[in-house]
Amino acid sequence: MKSSSRILAPSAVFLAAAIVFSPLLAALLGTGLNPHALGRAFHTAARPLGGSAETAMVSALVALLLGVPFAILVERSRPGLRRVFWALGLLVLMIPPYIVAESWIVLLGPAGKISRMVATMLGFGPHSTDPLEIARFSVPALVYSWPAVGAVMGGCFFPIVALAVASAFRRTDLRVFESARIAQGKRGVCRIAAHILLPPAMGGALLVFAVTLTEFSVPQLMRVRTIGEAIYERIQEGDVATAAALGLPVLPVVIFAGGLGAFILARARSASLAGLEGEVPKFTGPRPDHVSDLAAAVMTFIATIPAFILPITSLIWLVVAAKLPPESNIGSHKVLRASGFQESLRGAWDLAHDDAVRTVLLAGFAATLAAIFAIMLVRMASRIRLGPLLGTVGAGLAVPAPIVGLGLIVLWNHEWSAAVYQGPALVLLAWFARYLPVTIFLVQGALARVPKELESAAALAGRGPWERFAAVVLPNAAPGIVAAWLATYVLSATEFSATLLVSPPGGPLLAPSVVNLMRRGQDPEIAACQFLLLAVIALPLVPISVATVFRSRTIKGIN
Amino acid sequence: MSPRTLHVAGVAALIVVTALILAGRHPRSLNLPQGQTTQDLKVVLYCATDREIAQDLIDQFEKDTGIQVAAKFDTEAAKAVGLIQEIRQEKSHPQCDVFWGGGAFFCTILANDGCLEAAPGDLVQAEGEAPHDPLGRWLGFAAAYRVLIVNTQVLTADSYPHSYRDLTDPRFKGRIGIANPLFGGMAAHVAALFAKLGENQARQWLEGLKSNDCAICAGMADVKNRVASGELWFGITSTIDAHVAVEGGKPVVIIFPDQEQGGIGCLNGYNTVGLVAGAPHPKEAERLLRFLLTTSTEKILAAGPGQNVGLLPDSVAQNVRPAWIPHDIREMTVNWTEAVQAHPVAIEAIREILLDQ
């Protein structure tokens, strides 16, 4: 078995690297690199690169500030409430960052529904009843700044930090805190907490940093110039090779950040949702009371404000206000123009229901395939100690989406590959190129939490490798694998920059369609489209929730 | 995880998938000749025009001809890196038959790159006074204008702007916006200004924008949203986006700029359509082209969300236009070949002046 792994594992690692990096290489080499243009591009990319780094640092910081206290306080609440708080916290991951950014502008922008009201209440508004003066009042455009972009991205991805911290917290025997308290008081507790919780928190934060670095849609909406925009400019000029090359400086940063994060998390064996199902600590400390429940509830509220409460508030506001004047119904065209949210939703469904179904099936298939491949890859790689090498695949996160799309066109648009190019396979390849690193990372964490001793015991009992995997590894790693599947599904279903380029003609997918309708539409249409997109993203939660409920009942029945 | 749990999860997933497949099934009634299926006749359309504008016409074409349209749409959020770049990258092995949209500027770029081929001579002739490429590689129809969208709650009628130059008026400092001029339609607009005004005047205008703290928005729809909310007082957008705001009851008014005697006029960002060179379905592509370049198409576009104005000779004779768009719009005359040539200079100036690079 081990000898076959020696051949299969490097091949699988090579295949993963090929899937992730081949579009970048094709874009770099297949479109002709011009050294002069490259030099010029790098000369002008310093500032955008700085913008990207600044937003990424703020996002990591925000994720830390929200994720660490959230994890600790929620973990200390009662089990029933804990599940509710975690469900709310994880819902944040379901909302695409570009919807969050739009809601920030609508609610907190210079003419924001909330910001103007608050500023007026605080006395900053005009001291006049002149309607013109009142209408002209606006608050400072803080929302159009790199810290705001960082706050949005950090708010969207804080659950990554929270999951890592919660996982470590659950695996900790709380007697160490008690010992530290007796020995050194509060200082001792803080020191031991920092020792246990800081590494996973930093690991998660580094991942958030890496994910934010090449984000384009949020900085674009919030008028912050980043490396993503510089890359788009080169593409518009038709210089795809230079555009691809501009992404290269980000690569080592992401490799370093992602690799370090993966290393820290792997060491803590806590890189996934697996932590929520972690081993029962030997000593659980004082029982949770109302105070700890209240603290957890307050923290959940605070943590979900940026990327859940604000977008949902904005959506509700749109739904409530979504009513067009009756005289506006012009012509007989079949679009979403309608008199309210429900009609718009019906119109959106009529126009894009094929796209929605296609997206759910394709994203579900992509997530399943990616999860299966990642499990096999991680198992084989860890057997011959190639696990750390998988961290390099994480650099794929630094490849901008349009480069992935254009690179795949260069790579696959040939006579011999027409079947791949003209079908949905190309979309799958684009999603794998973008998100396979995420799947691998999460699966790596999920498998790492399965104690090796259990598998060894099963081997001693005469179980073969497949039986060991099915009976020991899979049940223990299942929550983490489900998390990996879900993350891949959500990211794939909401991706539009690469999807737009590679989706086959006649087979549009939901995210590009909805994003455009949201930009172009009226309030009822925008609300309907946001609702439709969120509903599609949340759809897989139905079977997962059903399974979770039955699982709890089964466990209760056994007990 | 117990086997029972797995079974329940599996059944639930199966129900969801089955429901999805059933929801996705919908019969299409096409007037196909006997014995012919939609698989036999197909045309691939790359459509930079919005889907909600184009879909009615695509459905109508399929119904009339039995030719299945495999359409691929663009999104404003992808800037100009969508279909135009895809056609460029596919040049050696084209997949697309017809390219609809992009405007004269980007179609000229594609034509210069050898990605578009000449349309049949009779179609070029039938264009009459409508704008088109001299070699027939792209043909214009269905006008949409670049206008000023003004918030009526913050500006009174006597202080409305009337020219693109008003964007540099210090009275409006910090309250004006344009779409990012490095991308899409605004890139074409600025390149057209460079070609029309000359480099010096165009650079002065950009410097004026910079000193007036002009907001660089994510797109023309974004400009519309920010003006409608009152965050910006006015900005440049298209008639398509501006009309969405008016129709939605937002406090805005649409102004066709530079209409005064001697003014440079309002930019016409009309629709364009072209045949892709080496297209895999040339006959079907030609039929689609003929279908699009008709007065009945322009009538549908005028009545639809695009609110376009007919440009083809018959449409002009029949005055195909939405009622709210005036008849005597003074249009900016643009030589798009010169605009494409001016584009690199414009890009450099935008980077240097607006983006401080």
For residues A325 and B246, is the Cβ–Cβ distance under 8 A? no
pLDDT at position A334 is: 43
Q: Which of A9-13, A50-54, B276-280 has the highest mean pLDDT?
A: B276-280
pLDDT at position A285 is: 55
- Tell me the mean pLDDT in the region A383-403: 77
Is B221 close to A517, i.e. CB distance below 8 A?
no
Same domain, B213 and B155: yes
Specify which residues A440 forms β-bridges with. Answer: none
Tokens linked to A78: 């009662």
A30-50 confidence digits (pLDDT tens): 767 777 767 777 777 788 888
pLDDT at position B25 is: 47
3-state secondary structure of A78: coil
Residue B330 lies in a domain: no
Same domain, B114 and B139: yes
B243-272 confidence digits (pLDDT tens): 988 888 889 999 999 999 889 999 999 999
Residue B30 lies in a domain: yes
A333: confidence class by pLDDT, cuts 50, 70, 90 = very low
Tokens linked to B59: 């459905």
Residue B7 lies in a domain: no
pLDDT at position B80 is: 54
Give the B window 144-163 contacts with A, CB below 8 Å.
Answer: 151, 153-154, 156
Tokens linked to A406: 């254009």
For residues B163 and B261, is the Cβ–Cβ distance under 8 A? no
A133: confidence class by pLDDT, cuts 50, 70, 90 = confident
Which helix H or strand E contains A379, and what residues bound it? helix A341-383
Is B249 close to A501, i.e. CB distance below 8 A?
no
Same domain, B350 and B290: no
Percent of chain A's residues with pLDDT above 70: 86
pLDDT at position B31 is: 43
**Total domain count, chain B:** 2
pLDDT at position B40 is: 63
The residues, any chain, with a CB within 8 Å of residue B129's CB and separated by 6 or more, are B313, B316
* DSSP codes, A518-557: HHHS-HHHHHHHHHHHHHHHHTTHHHHHHHHHHHHHHHHH
Same domain, B243 and B350: yes
Determine the residue among A42, A143, A220 to mutate to test chain B binding: the one whose Cβ has the most chain B Cβ atoms within 10 Å.
A220
A548: confidence class by pLDDT, cuts 50, 70, 90 = low
Percent of chain B's residues with pLDDT above 70: 87
Same domain, B156 and B174: yes
- b or e along A311-333 (b: 16 or more beta carbons within 10 Å of the residue's beta carbon)? bbbbbebbbeebebeeebebeeb
Asked if B218 has any chain A CB less than 8 Å from its own CB, the reply is yes
Same domain, B186 and B281: no
Residue-number span of the structural domain to which B119 is assigned: 15-143+269-325
Q: Which of A278, A251, A218 is nearest to A437 (CA)?
A: A251
Q: How far is B111 from chain A (nearest CA, A)?
A: 14
Residue B5 lies in a domain: no
Higher pLDDT residue, B200 or A211? B200
Higher pLDDT residue, B176 or B79? B176
Q: Is the pLDDT of residue B209 over 90?
A: yes
For residue B78, what is the domain's CATH number? 3.40.190.10
Asked if B1 has any chain A CB less than 8 Å from its own CB, the reply is yes
Q: Is the pLDDT of residue A399 over 50?
A: yes
Residue B132 neighbours by CB distance under 10 Å: 27
User: How many residue contacts between A and B have a Cβ separation below 8 Å?
Assistant: 233
pLDDT at position B17 is: 59
Residue B2 lies in a domain: no
Give the dihedral sign, CA A282/A285/A291/A292. Answer: negative
Residue B130 lies in a domain: yes
Q: Which of A109, A235, A325 sits opposite B231 (nearest CB)?
A: A109
Same domain, B160 and B280: no
pLDDT at position A125 is: 78
Is A503 close to B17, i.e. CB distance below 8 A?
no
Is A512 close to B16, i.e. CB distance below 8 A?
no
Residue B10 lies in a domain: no
Amino acid at A106: V
Same domain, B258 and B152: yes
B64-110 confidence digits (pLDDT tens): 999 999 999 887 655 555 788 889 989 999 999 999 987 999 999 99
Same domain, B34 and B116: yes
The residues, any chain, with a CB within 8 Å of residue B231's CB and separated by 6 or more, are A109, A110, A111, A138
Specify which residues B117 forms β-bridges with. Answer: B275
Same domain, B257 and B115: no
- Tell me the mean pLDDT in the region B203-231: 93
Residue B301 lies in a domain: yes
Alpha-carbon gap, residue A482 to A472, rounded angstroms: 16
Determine the residue among A114, A133, A233 to mutate to test chain B binding: the one whose Cβ has the most chain B Cβ atoms within 10 Å.
A233
Q: Is the pLDDT of residue B155 over 50?
A: yes
pLDDT at position B32 is: 44
Same domain, B348 and B240: yes
Q: Which of A191-195, A270-274, A460-464, B154-158 has the highest mean pLDDT?
A: B154-158
Q: What is the mean pLDDT of chain B?
A: 88
Same domain, B200 and B236: yes
Instruction: Quote the DSSP letter at residue A472.
Output: I
Length of chain B: 357
- Tell me the mean pLDDT in the region A219-227: 88
